[in-house]
Amino acid sequence: MTYYDEVGNYYDKDARDFENRYWKNQALQRIRQAFREEVKRHPFENGLEVGIGPGFDLIHFARIFKESQLFGIDISQEMVNLAADKIPGLNQPNAQVAQGSVEDLKNLFPEQKYDLIYVFFGALNTVEDLLLALKELEKLLAPGGRMVLTFVNKWFLAGMLIELLKLKPRWAFARLRKVWGGYSPTQFLASRCYSSRQIKAYAHQANLNCDKREGYSILYPAWYYHGLHKKMPAALLQILWKIDRKIGKGPLGEFGEYALYDFRKSD
């Protein structure tokens, strides 16, 4: 069994519960919407999503950008099935999906070039070789094209502190290991977390210029800290979110739960 088979099987088992959990998690919805706003800054004719999951964002953008074509892949066949089931509901179907990895793209959608490529919620944390993946994506990017990529951060300081206060040092420093086991306390998903310096270095080698980096959940509780979200007043959560949006664009952005990068193809 290959590494991608293992990742695909992991998400195959979780696909339907994954979708149901999302609609109950307001923090996750809020972060996703912020990611979407970054994509909307870049009008496109052909867009590609890597890691479509159940199709939340692919369908969202297909409805907004009716004259554009959307393409999406996921390593999980069950996730692809869920996304494919939503496409007929579009007034003007302008989305295609397929199962596979970044390395498969040139065969899944032959001769296709993209003005915009986006990845939400760390699908690139589960590629075999990040540098190779970025180079493959850059080859598919049209001249002047953009990539809006998000990653699970390596240096999530608030998370480290919370886990240390809970007397769970293993979880506090899990992302610093060469292989991170993912979010689940019961199922291991071999993945990797990267620092901002590593990501920018790989992007530079892949002929990509970084125009923006923004951190999320620096002070605003990460989406999986359900207890904190329930205990904190809504007004306080809103204040923390606003503070995050201000400091996330600066050096402290490197220490959030997620980081978003806006890359431009070099001339």
Give all domains of the chain, ordered by start, each with its CATH number: 3-265 (3.40.50.150)
- What is the pLDDT, as a whole number, of residue 152? 98
Residue 144, pLDDT above cutoff 80: yes
> Nearest 5°: CA angle at 33, between 32 and 36?
90
- What is the pLDDT, as a whole number, of residue 90? 83
In this structure, of 80-84, 88-92, 182-186, 209-213, the range with the lowest mean pLDDT score is 88-92
Distance CA 72, CA 70 (A): 7
Residue 39, pLDDT above cutoff 80: yes
Q: What is the mean predicted confidence (pLDDT) over 151-160?
A: 97
Helix (H) or strand (E) holding 197: helix 196-205
Residue 34, pLDDT above cutoff 90: yes
* SS3 labels along 106-134: HHHCCCCCEEEEEECCCHHHHCCCHHHHH
Residue 16, pLDDT above cutoff 90: no
Within 10 angstroms of residue 233's Cβ, the number of other Cβ atoms is: 8
- Tokens 């498969």 appear where? 104
Residue 72, pLDDT above cutoff 80: yes
> Nearest 5°: CA angle at 149, between 42 and 10?
135
Distance CA 214, CA 151 (A): 11
Residue 143's φ and ψ, nearest 5 degrees, are -55, 130
Per-residue pLDDT band at 113 (split at 50, 70, 90): very high
Q: What is the mean predicted confidence (pLDDT) over 162-188?
A: 94
Distance CA 170, CA 190 (A): 16
Residue 25's φ and ψ, nearest 5 degrees, are -115, 95
Q: What is the mean predicted confidence (pLDDT) over 147-157?
A: 98
- What is the pLDDT, as a whole number, of residue 14? 86
* SS3 labels along 25-46: CHHHHHHHHHHHHHHHCCCCCE
Residue 267, pLDDT above cutoff 90: no
Residue 27, pLDDT above cutoff 80: yes
In sequence order, what E strands does 159-254 have? 208-216
Q: What is the mean predicted confidence (pLDDT) over 202-218?
A: 97
Task: Provide the phi-psi class of 257: left if phi over 0, else alpha when psi is between -120 and 50, else beta.
Answer: alpha
Q: What is the mean predicted confidence (pLDDT) over 6-16?
A: 91
Query: Model's pTM, two decimal places?
Result: 0.95
- What is the pLDDT, as a whole number, of residue 266? 87
Q: What is the mean predicted confidence (pLDDT) over 139-161?
A: 97
Q: Could you tell me if 215 and 248 are in contact, meaning their C-beta atoms sit under 8 angstroms apart?
A: yes
- What is the pLDDT, as a whole number, of residue 265? 93
Q: Tens digits of per-residue pLDDT, 230-244?
A: 999 999 999 999 999
DSSP 250: S
- What is the pLDDT, as a whole number, of residue 70? 97
Sign of the C-alpha dihedral computed for residues 46, 10, 121 and 177 taken in this order: negative
In this structure, of 77-81, 87-91, 118-122, the range with the lowest mean pLDDT score is 87-91
Residue 132, pLDDT above cutoff 90: yes
- What is the pLDDT, as a whole number, of residue 92? 75
